[in-house]
Amino acid sequence: MKVSKDSVVSLEYRLHLGDGKVVDESEPGHPLSYLHGRGQIVPGLEGQLEGMGSGESKKVVVAPSQGYGEHDPRGLQTVPRDMFPPNAQLQPGMTISAQTEGGDVIPITIRELKGDQVVVDLNHPLAGKTLHFDVTVREVRQATSEELEHGHAHGPGGAH
Ligand SMILES: [Zn+2]
């Protein structure tokens, strides 16, 4: 079968940002499984996978607006250094995990150290980037009724 809405797709992927340097990839032998058509992967990639069959490979280039969004300058914020653990070795360019008041864990990027102030970037680290994916579809199958009910793909034997 072909990739279409509510199929479960097993995907091997490699992501680079145009220079060939891999910034993310599926683990060897462990493709990413997701429920197609539910917005679980970036929209520009999901749309290009539509209609592909098992064993097919493709290169997909995704503009920022169809990927992790444009870089929003309002995401740059200056916060006091003492918001971070005293022993944290902060360096420009590093990404750390922070917890929001709502309990979500989000990646934030350190942009600049200015004395006792730190400029952080709350945008997704891949915001504003053009994404280059090399993908291979390993398997396409019908979602089970349980998967459709849960809204996500299950692993072998129904594992989450
Ligand atoms: Zn489930």
Q: How confident is the model at residue 105 (pLDDT cuts 50, 70, 90)?
A: confident
- Give the CATH number for residue 110: 2.40.10.330
Answer yes or no: do 95 and 49 share one domain. no
How many structural domains does the chain have? 2
In the reported structure, the alpha carbon of residue 24 is separated from the centroid of ligand 1 by a whole-number distance in angstroms of 25
Q: Hunting for tokens 């917005």 — which residue is that? A: 39
What is the whole-number distance in angstroms between the Cα of residue 36 and the centre of ligand 1? Answer: 15
pLDDT at 85: 86
Question: Residue 119 above 90 pLDDT?
Answer: yes
Is the predicted pLDDT of residue 151 greater than 90, yes or no? yes
Using the mean position of ligand 1's atoms as its centre, give its distance from the Cα of residue 18 in Å: 35
In a domain, 1, yes or no: no
Instruction: Give distance in angstroms: CA of 35 to centre of ligand 1.
Output: 11
136: containing domain: 7-68+127-158
Based on the fold, state whether residues 63 and 132 are members of the same structural domain: yes
C-alpha span between 97 and 18 (Å, rounded) = 26
Residue 114 in domain: yes
Which pLDDT tens digit goes with each residue over 51-99?
999 999 999 999 999 999 999 999 999 999 998 888 889 999 999 888 8
What pLDDT sits at residue 117?
97
Domain for residue 2, yes or no?
no
Cα 150 to ligand 1 centre (Å) = 5
**CATH value at residue 147:** 3.10.50.40
> Is position 143 within any domain?
yes
Do 21 and 34 belong to one domain? yes
CB under 8 A, 24+ apart: contacts of 146-151: 147/8, 147/35, 148/6, 148/35, 151/35, 151/38
| DSSP codes of every residue in 38-63 | SS-S-HHHHHHHTT-BTT-EEEEEE-
* Ligand 1 centroid to residue 155 C-alpha, Å: 9
Q: Are residues 150 and 134 in the same domain?
A: yes
Centre of ligand 1 to C-alpha 142, Å, is 15
Q: Assign 158 a pLDDT band (cuts: 50, 70, 90).
A: confident
Clarify whether residues 52 and 82 are in a common domain. no
**pLDDT of 156 over the 90 cut:** no
Distance 143 CA to ligand 1 centre (A): 11
Q: What is the mean pLDDT of the chain?
A: 94
**Least confident stretch, 6-20, 68-82, 85-99, 108-122:** 85-99
| Same domain assignment for residues 22 and 98 | no
Specify whether 84 is located in the same domain as 104.
yes
User: Ligand 1 centre and the CA of 156: distance in Å?
Assistant: 12
CA of 160 to the centre of ligand 1 (A): 6
**How high is the pLDDT of residue 157?**
79
Residue 148 lies in a domain: yes
- Residue 62 sits in the same domain as residue 132: yes
